[in-house]
Structure 1
Amino acid sequence: MQRKFTFSSLLFLTIFLTETSFSQQKPTYKQAEILWDTWGVPHIYAKNDESLFYAYGWAQTKNHGNLILQLYGQARGKGAEYWGEKYAQADRWVITNSIHERAAEWYTLQKPAMRKNLDAFARGVNDYANENPDKISPEAKRALPITAVDVIAHAQRVTHFVFLAPQTQVASLERMQGDKNGSNAWAIGPKKSTSGNTLLLTNPHLPWTDLYLYVEAQLVSPGVNTYGISRMGFPILTMAFNATAGYSQTVNTNDGQDFYELTTVEGGYKWDGKVKAFEAKERILKIRQPDGSLKEEKMVIRHSVHGPVVSEKVGPPTRGKTIAMRVAGLGQAGIFEQYWDMARAKDLTEFEAAVSRLQIPMYTLMFADNKGNIFNLFNAEVPVRPLGDWNFWSGVVRGDTSATLWTKTHSYKDLPKVRNPATGWLQNTNEPPWTATVPMVNNYKDFPAYMAPAPNMSFRTQRSVRMLMNSDKISLDEFIQLKLSTQMELADRIAPELIAAAEANGSPEAKEVASVLSNWDHNTDNESKGAFLFDRFVRKWVGGTEKLNSLGTASKLFSTPWDLNDPINTPKGIADPKAALVALLDAAKEVKATYGRLDVPWGEVFRFRIGDVDLPGNGGPGPMGVFRTMTLGAPIDGKYFPAHGDTYVAAIEFSKPLKAKVLTSYGNATQPDSKHNNDQLPLLSEKKMRPVWFTREEAEQHLAEKTVFK
């Protein structure tokens, strides 16, 4: 009798053989030690790569065990099964997009050495949890044991289905724009540097919770010594530097997710004038109930030639339309191998050899090395599309014809990139690739119209470019000072006109408003008085907090919109000063009613709080042009806290020896009993950074604890 193997049985067999191979081999993956510094950063020294990955899995679980086990459980599509209804919607997205199934396929496609490394990382996670059962919550243990397939699934979920193709976009069926999840990155060449050494800035801005968090670490094994951050639960560093080179990444404008409207008919959907049947599969979603029982929900997932059907809503915006989704890069299984080689690259030649594989589907990459090279790449899996521009593909396109179906992506040589520009500097703040340096090197008209949006500059981009253009030679200390600037570009642009309108009004209320804004220096530092009043005004002026991210330099609120021929000094003027004054006075009324005065210090209202640490905050909204980006969450008792913003900062000078300073805003641990889940907040509040302890001698001088694997 012929036995039929299901996908689940094959996956079980793969995991069984993996676990069996571990038990039959010598424990070569335990030749490592971890030097824990006083900030909870693990400096891992290993005799081989397998041991390094093992120790890193162990270290991440020590600092973040409850969270990463929860994330791996969600990557299986079993968050609701383990932890209840609140995870069901995310599970549906994982299951609809076959994330865990594809991860099993990707596992088999890994090179043997990387497969062993991923197995070792998963074993490190499991060993820590098994050896320290009192440190892991009973709820988190439901996800044990972890396999390398879970690790791959988590990385795929985050990269492809949170950043590239987020579930939230299904609601609007349009690619999100604005200034929310993002980053800053700079690279300074020798001609712009005081010392003649290159400088690199890494500065992601993401939510301060859940799968968006970063882990700071140093990984050292034969031929490897790299420092930086991983996305939570990733087995490799995703932004890193070594003694001679480094790189950062920022969320870019790549549209690697497309929605197709299908015309459904009996027997399937219309396709090139014929009827094509859907491919359908059934899956069971289990949802834990309050009493511990499991409710089962049958999911029928239909696939067209484009991909899975993701929306069949009855009401707006789809009005009964059936929508399928196509995502770029799902056949590229080498994401970990590429990141690993990027982190180890010693110079630009080695870095380009790694990134040219295009295994990472998005992110602008910024690079510098000690040979004097700086480099910016619009890294993306960009579909080769038969027609249309970026705006056309940002919405819903016809799915009844092969004329709109793309089947391949652009090669590395097709992507916008800048090497060693004459300006001596490069920057990215999530804008399209054309403004990597100014004057612009790449002409957007030389690239396909769907590659990226036409040139534009947000106020944060303008602030970034202005600081670099206005600086002659930049030292590492000045580089850090510029990074930590809280000056608000929008206030520089319109505050004088706003003050004049208030003074002309002449009422006591308007005169007080004018006085407060006149005395404000346009910064959002702890003691800045006037910043909060201006912030409240802008939100009313644009039509509410929820519309803040749509505030752009092309907004009709300005009398002169952004002009490509004058990209730094436009827009100009307030289109309707009377309406702006009404918004300003309305904001002033609310501020005074809530806080008793208009000149309330920014840091009195905006706070850095984690656990029992509660300190004055600084930095401000990116859409208003604050380079030190901090997004204010919903108020709690009249106070605001970061919902998103500066998460990690690294400022590196590729000198001999290396010089670098860093800060991980929220600390390097999330376990409830760790002192490192808020210990860096005082430095954040004081606008300070920590020195990087890059050598073993430095790590031992600041040693808090040592873990040795035998």
Structure 2
Amino acid sequence: MPRPLLRVAGTAVLGVALLAPVPAFAATELPSERGMSATIRYTEYGIPHITAKDYAGLGYGTGYAAAKDNLCLIAQGVVTLRGERSKYFGPEAAPDGSLSSASTNLASDVFFTSVNDSGIVEKLIAAPAPYGPAAEAREISRGWAAGYNRFLSEGEITDPACKGAAWLRPVTELDVHRRGYALAMLGASGRSTDQIVAAAPPGGNEVRRSTQSPQEAAKAARNLMADAAMGSNAIAVGSQATANGRGLLLGNPHYPWHNGRRFWQMHQTIPGKLDVSGAGLLGSPAINIGHTSTFAWSHTVATGVPFSLTELRLVPGDPTSYFVDGKKEKLTKRQVTVQVKQQDGSLKRVTRTLWRSRYGPIVMSVPPVDLPWTTWNAYALTDPNATNVRLANTSLALSKARTTDDALRALKQTQGLPWVNTIAADSRGRALFAQIQVLPNVTDEFADRCNSLLGHLTFRQAGLAILDGTRSSCAPGKAPGTVQPGILAPDRYPVLHRADYVTNSNDSYWLSNPRQPLNGYDRIIGDENAERTLRTRSGLVAVQDQLGQGRFTRPDMQDLVFANRNIAGELAAEGSVKMCREMRLGEPCEVLAKWDRTADTGSRGALLFDRYWRKATAAWDLWKTPFDVSDPVNTPRDFNTASWAARKALIDAVGELRTSSIPLDAPLGDHQYVTRNGEKIPVGGGTEALGILNKIEARWTPGQGYTEVGTGSSYVQVVSFDGDRCPDTRTLMTYSQSADPTSPHHADQTRLFSKKGWATGRFCQDDITKAPGLKVVQLSGR
């Protein structure tokens, strides 16, 4: 379907003719509530079940209920996306990190103001589906804004974080779409915000050089997609591995506990059209992970690199011009102005300059890869998700799926997932892994032909393409079957249907099921035949151990995710005890010897091992048996008791705890906890390096321990199917539904999490009406 392209600030978007049907102004006005209505039924733990006659009404009820629980967090995001953080909070403070990687309010404002000035989101949402949002996505977004505004107008704001704040204002449909757009860009433009804003040509006699050699840059690129705040586990089990012969799903995303990227649980129903329960990221009008009556799905952060870089060869003597096909071309210079609050409270207009090429914005680096703008070359970021507003399309399509086949069709048709895999199961007993996301159209053949010298290294090491900008033919082009130019064709992605199981814990697709490794895919999608993380291995071992004892039941899956097995401890604790005794350290050796190898709140020795292992993982000689591609689940292994780095790590950990007056055998929960309204709540689980499925990344406070969780297990769901009966579901929102400390649902599920408890899913209408303490809210548009 070739069409003429319009370029907005260097970004290719749809032709002008496609933009006419929906006036852009409609999304920028405050939406009217007229004709909208919804019923919200609250069951245990404040979970809303929203029913409406149409998508606008469904959004209306969803926006209202979301604002009731998390108004301040959502409103903070609106200020961010409008580029007004410096106006209200000053330029130097840091945003919460939920919508970009900007380190200061000023950098955030310049970035998002440049997006808003370009009008790109308005143009994209005005385009018809599948390029733009489907009519249902437009309607639910319009309704969501009206519902949010309805709650705001009622004035029943109790959260001290924003009560009476000048920045708390009504929203438009455009604000809703802008949030989805920003989330899509998190894997590329959003992770390089500072580097885009700071990009400037060298001046005068200034000499710039990379701090990394090409080999060091390629090695750094291996950690390109590493993000402690973004991860997940998911396991889908099929008919050959479940006790009832039907599907079973575990979804265990690891997301921030505090900022605007939290999940929020809900159940959405339009009789005869939609019936789905699950959770969405704050501000999302649709459910992002959840289940219908016969189908369940979750997402995990994928290893695909969702952007490419282009190396520009600059014109000698003019670092703002570059060569394309032997001709000179000027960079585009854009002035971006934001309002900045001064110390005396007055506002000052501050202007920054952003630079773009035909390939995208100029960046100073893509952390952790250093890419300076020199007099010889510069680097442009090509982000295909900068023209992607289809996430809601995909979420709504999955919300209607009844089988894994439906889900696969939805993923291929909507092409809206920016940086995640999909793992799913259905009542037929089919399990699905699919990494269908929005990646640059950089096949291995294209990379071989078009990568720069540095790009050949980074592509092999990490899947990062650095293309030759001197050739226009080396810009990723339109692939067959794609809904936008420049993205990889949906049939090139790895897909695996199984009747036993599939799983993912943020490694690549390769070992989704060790019985059927996936090989032969383009490097930009992920690596193959490579060492897996301890968390991936932990999940595979747990599944295999369970199947060695018998087929899965729903309680088995619940036990699996909260067993808090410490796979690093299982592999290394015995050797560490031997090493400790060789060192004649005394008490630490006996504490580790008695440790139960878990990260439960009552586990004694878990904290000592945690502090020791974090320090030891940098050692190159931890294991005697290296990774073996023929035995990837069980290698590397055999702890090396002679490792000097491990010995020093143990001594340092013992000293650290003793200096903090923390007993070496203190129960983990005494020193890993959160505090809510003065109540100390112990938290089990542990850090990435330990390979614990129940991932918890917490802040270490000397003298106290881990005193607050930053990220980790969030919305956890275990969904089982049993014939024509209701889905048999258990859920848990680890940080609870509401960020408002005055809400009764600010910490109730956190206490449940502390005790390894679960909430019973209420999906069928009879179950909802029988819920103890049921509360019903009727909303009608005014």
Tell me, yes or no, whether TM beats 0.5: yes
What is the CA-CA distance between 1:485 and the residue it aligns to?
1.5
Given the alignment, which residue of 343, 351, 374 partners 2:431? 374
Task: Provide the C-alpha distance between the structure 2 equivalents of 1:393 and 1:434, rounded to a whole number of angstroms.
Answer: 14
1:190–1:196 contact (8 Å) kept in structure 2: yes
Task: Provide the C-alpha distance between the structure 2 equivalents of 1:583 and 1:205, rounded to a whole number of angstroms.
Answer: 27
Between stretches 574-583 and 58-67, larger displacement belongs to 574-583
Match of 2:141 in 1: 118
- Structure 1 residue 432 corresponds to structure 2 residue 432: no
1:663–1:680 contact (8 Å) kept in structure 2: yes
- Structure 1 residue 699 corresponds to structure 2 residue 768: yes
Task: Provide the C-alpha distance between the structure 2 equivalents of 1:361 and 1:204, rounded to a whole number of angstroms.
Answer: 16
What is the CA-CA distance between 1:185 and the residue it aligns to?
0.2
Q: Which runs of 5+ in 2 are unaligned?
A: 1-7, 10-18, 94-104, 128-132, 197-216, 448-455, 478-485
- Superposed, 1:286-305 pairs within 5 Å as 286-305=339-358
Match of 2:288 in 1: 238
Given the alignment, which residue of 401, 405, 412 partners 2:475? 405
Task: Provide the C-alpha distance between the structure 2 equivalents of 1:596 and 1:57, rounded to a whole number of angstroms.
Answer: 46
- Structure 1 residue 447 corresponds to structure 2 residue 521: yes
Task: Provide the C-alpha distance between the structure 1 equivalents of 2:156 and 2:692, rounded to a whole number of angstroms.
Answer: 44
C-alpha change, 1:623 and 1:392, in structure 2 (3 Å) is: closer
Match of 1:3 in 2: none
Task: State the one-letter code of the partner of 2:594.
Answer: N
2:624–2:639 contact (8 Å) kept in structure 1: yes
1:15–1:147 contact (8 Å) kept in structure 2: no
Task: State the one-letter code of the partner of 2:710.
Answer: A
- SS of the counterpart of 1:356? helix
Task: Provide the C-alpha distance between the structure 2 equivalents of 1:302 and 1:479, rounded to a whole number of angstroms.
Answer: 51
What is the CA-CA distance between 1:427 and the residue it aligns to?
0.5
2:674–2:709 contact (8 Å) kept in structure 1: yes
Task: Provide the C-alpha distance between the structure 2 equivalents of 1:117 and 1:35, rounded to a whole number of angstroms.
Answer: 19
2:408–2:434 contact (8 Å) kept in structure 1: no
Task: Provide the C-alpha distance between the structure 1 equivalents of 2:754 and 2:29, rounded to a whole number of angstroms.
Answer: 50
Task: Provide the C-alpha distance between the structure 2 equivalents of 1:202 and 1:141, rounded to a whole number of angstroms.
Answer: 39
Task: Provide the C-alpha distance between the structure 1 equivalents of 2:566 and 2:645, rounded to a whole number of angstroms.
Answer: 22
Given the alignment, which residue of 94, 108, 113 partners 2:112? 94
Match of 2:696 in 1: 630
What is the CA-CA distance between 1:139 and the residue it aligns to?
6.2
What is the CA-CA distance between 1:679 and the residue it aligns to?
1.4
- Superposed, 1:10-409 pairs within 5 Å as 17=26, 23=32, 27-30=34-37, 32-85=38-91, 86=93, 87-96=105-114, 101-109=119-127, 110-132=133-155, 134-135=157-158, 137=162, 140=165, 142-161=167-186, 165-167=190-192, 170=195, 174=221, 176-178=224-226, 180=228, 181-222=230-271, 223-265=273-315, 266=318, 268-311=321-364, 317-321=370-374, 322-357=378-413, 358-385=415-442, 386-387=446-447, 388=456, 389-391=459-461, 393-394=463-464, 398-402=468-472, 404-407=474-477, 408-409=486-487
Task: Provide the C-alpha distance between the structure 1 equivalents of 2:626 and 2:473, rounded to a whole number of angstroms.
Answer: 37
2:59–2:143 contact (8 Å) kept in structure 1: yes
After superposition, the C-alpha distances for 1:645-673 in whole angstroms (9 at most, x for unaligned) are 11111001022221000000111011242
Task: Provide the C-alpha distance between the structure 2 equivalents of 1:459 and 1:316, rounded to a whole number of angstroms.
Answer: 25
Task: State the one-letter code of the partner of 1:295.
Answer: K
After superposition, the C-alpha distances for 1:447-491 in whole angstroms (9 at most, x for unaligned) are 223331233310011110001112221111111101111111111
C-alpha change, 1:112 and 1:194, in structure 2 (3 Å) is: closer
What is the CA-CA distance between 1:135 and the residue it aligns to?
4.4
What is the CA-CA distance between 1:107 and the residue it aligns to?
2.1
C-alpha change, 1:563 and 1:611, in structure 2 (3 Å) is: farther
Task: State the one-letter code of the partner of 1:324.
Answer: A
1:502–1:513 contact (8 Å) kept in structure 2: yes
1:82–1:143 contact (8 Å) kept in structure 2: no
C-alpha change, 1:18 and 1:433, in structure 2 (3 Å) is: closer
Q: Which runs of 5+ in 1 are unaligned?
A: 1-5, 544-550
1:231–1:238 contact (8 Å) kept in structure 2: yes
Task: Provide the C-alpha distance between the structure 1 equivalents of 2:147 and 2:24, rounded to a whole number of angstroms.
Answer: 16
Task: State the one-letter code of the partner of 1:332.
Answer: N
Task: Provide the C-alpha distance between the structure 1 equivalents of 2:473 and 2:67, rounded to a whole number of angstroms.
Answer: 49
After superposition, the C-alpha distances for 1:79-104 in whole angstroms (9 at most, x for unaligned) are 22233322222223324555973221
What is the CA-CA distance between 1:29 and the residue it aligns to?
1.4
Task: Provide the C-alpha distance between the structure 1 equivalents of 2:111 and 2:192, rounded to a whole number of angstroms.
Answer: 7
State how many pairs are aligned: 681
Between stretches 166-175 and 291-300, larger displacement belongs to 166-175
- SS of the counterpart of 1:280? strand
What is the CA-CA distance between 1:241 and the residue it aligns to?
0.4
Task: State the one-letter code of the partner of 2:416.
Answer: Q
1:186–1:426 contact (8 Å) kept in structure 2: yes
1:64–1:670 contact (8 Å) kept in structure 2: yes
Match of 2:713 in 1: 646
- Superposed, 1:413-428 pairs within 5 Å as 413-421=491-499, 424-428=500-504
Task: Provide the C-alpha distance between the structure 1 equivalents of 2:242 and 2:115, rounded to a whole number of angstroms.
Answer: 47
After superposition, the C-alpha distances for 1:508-553 in whole angstroms (9 at most, x for unaligned) are xx2322211110111011111111111111122235xxxxxxx9xx
Task: State the one-letter code of the partner of 2:44.
Answer: T
- Structure 1 residue 458 corresponds to structure 2 residue 533: yes
1:164–1:256 contact (8 Å) kept in structure 2: no
- SS of the counterpart of 2:745? helix
1:608–1:685 contact (8 Å) kept in structure 2: no
Task: Provide the C-alpha distance between the structure 1 equivalents of 2:369 and 2:428, rounded to a whole number of angstroms.
Answer: 55
> Relative to total residues, which structure has the larger helix share, 1 or 2?
1
Task: State the one-letter code of the partner of 2:280.
Answer: S
Task: State the one-letter code of the partner of 1:49.
Answer: Y
What is the CA-CA distance between 1:339 and the residue it aligns to?
0.9
1:360–1:381 contact (8 Å) kept in structure 2: yes
- Structure 1 residue 518 corresponds to structure 2 residue 593: yes
2:464–2:524 contact (8 Å) kept in structure 1: no
Task: Provide the C-alpha distance between the structure 1 equivalents of 2:535 and 2:624, rounded to a whole number of angstroms.
Answer: 20
Between stretches 622-631 and 277-286, larger displacement belongs to 277-286
Identity %: 22
- SS of the counterpart of 2:370? coil
Match of 1:681 in 2: 750
